[in-house]
Amino acid sequence: MPVRRSAAPAKAASSAARPPRALRRAGRAVGRVLRRVLGRALGPVSGLGWAVLTTAVVLALGGRHLGWVEPVVLGTALGGSLVAAALLAVGRSTYAVDLEMSDHRVVVGERAVGRIVVRNTSRRRLLPAHVELPVGRGAADFPLPSLGPHGEHDEVFAIPTTRRAVVVVGPVRSVRGDPLGLVRRRVRWTDPVELYVHPRLVSLTGAASGVLRDLEGQATRVVSDSDLSFHALRDYVAGDDRRHIHWRSTARQGKLMVRQFEDTRRTHTAVALSLDPADYADADELEVAIAAAASLTAQAIRDEREVTFLAGDGVLRTDTPARMLDDVSALEPSTAARSGVDLGSWVSREVPDVTVAILVTGSTCDPGTLRASAVHVPVGVRTLLLAVELGVEAEVATHERLSLARIGALVDMPRIVRRAAVG
């Protein structure tokens, strides 16, 4: 008869071989601490520093293995230089750093001026260092002299602006290390700030009063119980506003009669801009189109008219000209953006109560495509199709409530908008 062997001794041996759970947790904690410490210690070593360290190890070990003294001496010297560089980078920096910008909004072509103020908050003298300031995709480096106790040093900088953009300035970092760049210890002191480079606009005061005119007082066919345009009388219904009861007709009819009104309209301008690079001959043409659309929107905001600005893949803010231009500064061309042929349907979907539609695109979008896009705009809406083609003579053609305009430069905008309004 076979004898069944118990597995209990094997399980006991297995559990005895495994370390206790508390010991495993302690080991993982020690590992995390070591990784953190090593990361902080080795993080400042630059790529050149790692190359020097690797070369030093190879020379020292190779020379010792082959019995050559020269490689060992050279490797030792390289290792010593790396140790000296690390000693220059150690030490606690006790700075207080401020990043100041004279203005967070500038127009293309203007210089944005800023200042970095560094203070030594300790009671001991600090060694010289460097201050690193990222600006967009580049970076500026300023020498920081030795600062005595509570000493202060400031650096003034200017950022040239050549194109519309949102430029991230900062964060300010102090950099300590050796002159060869083997070890670089960077410490961040400030948060980054955003510099908005707005497009240069053209004033449309007076020129846009026609195409962006207020339609208040023009009655629609929508009947309302409260508005400015009287339409008719009807029987009183429970819940009607007693202020609208027409007492003379009530006395004549022997029953309560209330006034009924027609809704009146106010201008709601929709500006739709194509950011599809296929609609433009080059980047400069796109920039003029963006500036033209922004000029129209800014004028509507200043005139306190309701306006919606469609660009990219969404609706831009139009509560103030500054915020609208902040959003415009961030616009980027994209093949995924709506092209000129889609602008009309976009306006119809996003702004159903539109009264004036302005569709802006480039020279490669032919007039037939623009007219096909305008078909989707609600019937009766005043529509301006604006195409940008650099260098051409400005022209405009108007048929009923549709105007097709072409400009060769931003300065053509006031004249073209005025002619479109008259036409």
- Asked whether residue 100 is assigned to any structural domain, the reply reads yes
Same domain? For 150 and 233 the reply is: no
Same domain? For 246 and 340 the reply is: no
- Asked whether residue 202 is assigned to any structural domain, the reply reads no
Residue 167 CA from chain centroid, whole number? 9
The number of domains in the chain is: 4
Average pLDDT over residues 75-90: 75
Same domain? For 323 and 339 the reply is: yes
Average pLDDT over residues 272-290: 95
Contacts 24+ apart (CB under 8 A), 190-193: 190/97, 190/98, 190/99, 192/134, 192/168, 193/99, 193/101, 193/104, 193/168, 193/169
Q: pLDDT at position 12, please?
A: 47
Identify the three-state secondary structure at position 307: strand
Q: How confident is the model at residue 229 (pLDDT cuts 50, 70, 90)?
A: very low
Q: pTM of the predicted model, to two decimals?
A: 0.72
- Asked whether residue 132 is assigned to any structural domain, the reply reads yes
Same domain? For 328 and 237 the reply is: no
* 8 Å CB contact between 290 and 309: no
Same domain? For 285 and 315 the reply is: yes
Give the Cα separation of 159 and 166 in Å (integer): 12
Same domain? For 140 and 123 the reply is: yes
Same domain? For 298 and 229 the reply is: no
Same domain? For 119 and 181 the reply is: yes
Query: Which candidate, 294, 301, 293, 296, places its Cα nearest to that of 318?
Result: 301
Same domain? For 122 and 226 the reply is: no
| 171 preceded by a cis bond (ω within 30 of 0) | yes
pLDDT digits (tens, 9 = 90+) for 233-273: 788 888 777 777 888 888 888 888 887 764 555 689 999 99
Q: How confident is the model at residue 24 (pLDDT cuts 50, 70, 90)?
A: low
Segments forming the whole domain that contains residue 286: 207-211+267-422
The 8-class DSSP code of residue 126 comes to B
209 has pLDDT over 60: no
Which pair of structure tokens corresponds to residue 373? 């896009």
421 has pLDDT over 50: yes
- Asked whether residue 232 is assigned to any structural domain, the reply reads yes
Same domain? For 126 and 249 the reply is: no
Cβ partners under 8 Å of residue 174, min gap 6: 93, 95, 97, 118, 129, 130, 131, 132, 144, 186, 187, 189
The overall average pLDDT reported for the chain is: 82
Q: What is the domain-level CATH number for residue 141? A: 2.60.40.10
- Asked whether residue 105 is assigned to any structural domain, the reply reads yes
- Asked whether residue 32 is assigned to any structural domain, the reply reads no
Q: What is the domain-level CATH number for residue 338? A: 3.40.50.410
Q: pLDDT at position 61, please?
A: 85
- Asked whether residue 7 is assigned to any structural domain, the reply reads no
414 has pLDDT over 70: yes
Same domain? For 277 and 402 the reply is: yes
Give the residue ranges of DSSP H helices in 254-357: 283-302, 321-329, 343-350
Average pLDDT over residues 110-121: 94
Q: CB atoms < 10 A from the CB of 109, how many?
A: 11
- Asked whether residue 34 is assigned to any structural domain, the reply reads no
Identify the three-state secondary structure at position 206: coil
Same domain? For 64 and 125 the reply is: no
Give the residue ranges of DSSP H helices in 207-342: 247-253, 283-302, 321-329
